[in-house]
Structure formats: structure tokens, C-alpha cells
Amino acid sequence: MPVVTTAENPPMAAVVARGRGCAPAISGHWTDPSEYGQTLDGDNVQAGGMTEAATSRSYGYASTPLGRLLVVSARGALVGLYFDGHERTPSVHDLATGSSELLTSVGDQLDEYFHRDRTRFDLPLRLEGTPFQIAVWSAVLDIPYGQTSAYARVAERVGRPRAARAVGAANGQNPISIVVPCHRLVGSNGALTGYGWGLDKKRGLLELEGADLSWGIAAARPLARSGR
């Protein structure tokens, strides 16, 4: 997935570059020398500060095997993908229909993902949050399909090696489920730990992607008491 651009939020340049060990390259690309190293296109992802949260929103819905998703867009980009009926899902009273092209793309790509025909999304994203949250979410975007990463490892990648708990908190506030794959973050022992949308959905998404959950399951089992 593309990484966060910083054209609209200059302070993010320092945060993301420090965390990734990256240097901005020519034409809005980032050169990432990390283990997932590749040059990624930053044109499809925007970073928005919290003061921009009042940007006018448009809404729509997409159906998935795990339930209906509320699709939220702003300025032609995806800003939210919420499981319908969840406590974190915005209440939509006056439904303003979003871009039909974007809604169609979201629906089509989700359908391909759930049919295992798509391993990465190609959608315009707008990440809205604090600089730290955006740094965490952009690092999460780099976790490959079918793989997992530990909170502590992401903390190292964003330049805050002792902030694993803060990474977990930021991950829990991710407003764009599935597309920004917060479900791929697990505990250091492989345990699924928490997931804002429910552990059943986290397990379902990881199983869909073919991620190896066996060591996490073993780690989560209580130790048997030895007899005397």
C-alpha cells in the first residue's frame, strides 16, 4: 500500500521519516529501505490533522461476509470504513450519498478481497488523526497480506520503541477497517489480543488471508497444572 503523503500536513514529514528511516524522494514517493523495502506511491494517501475533521462527509454502505460496512468519504477519498451497528460507528442521520465511483470501487475491491482475488487495496485514502496515529496507521499499511506484526515492532518502526501500548491505542482508533489492516497487529507472543471491531472479526480476517495463527493460539492456552 502507498504511504502517507505530507503535502497537506507538513509536521507529518518529520514523524514519518523518523519512524520509517525514510527520505522523501522525487514526485511524491517515499523510498522505504525497511524489510518491506520498496518505493511506494504516496499520491493515493493524504494526511489530515484533527482540525480538518469537520470536512464535509458523504456516506454509503458495502456488504461483506462479516457484516455491512459504513463507507465514509471526504474530498474524494476514503476516510472511514466502519462495521455497521458498532459503538464506534458514526450515527448517520442525514445520509449524503458519496461519490458513486468511490463507493463502487470500495464495494468491488472488498468483494475481491473476500473472494481472495485481491491482496492489496488501490483506493484513495485520507488518514485523519494525530501525527502519532497517522504514523502508526501508515506503518500498519506496510504489513503484507497474510502476515502479522507485533505492536512492539510497529513502535520501533515509528521511532517510539517503548510505546507499544500507545501503538495499540492508536491502532484501536483506526477508522478505516480492513483497508488499513489493523487486524494484522498481534501481541509479541502471537496472541490476537484486542480488536476494536471484535476478536471474531479479527480472527475471520486473518484466517481469510491465510495468516499462521497456530503459535498465537498455543500462547493463549492456559498452562496445564502438573499433578502431584
* 195-208 exposure pattern, b = at least 16 Cβ within 10 A, e = fewer: bbbeeebbbebbeb
* Whether residue 182 lies in the annotated active site: yes
Place of cell 484513495: 124
| Amino acid residing at 14 | A
d(CA 110, CA 220): 30
Alpha helix ranges (H) inside the chain = 11-20, 100-114, 131-140, 151-157, 164-172, 199-209, 214-220
User: Of the residues 182, 192, 205, 213, which is catalytic?
Assistant: 182
H-helix or E-strand spanning residue 69 = strand 69-74
d(CA 225, CA 223): 6
Could you list the active site residues? 182
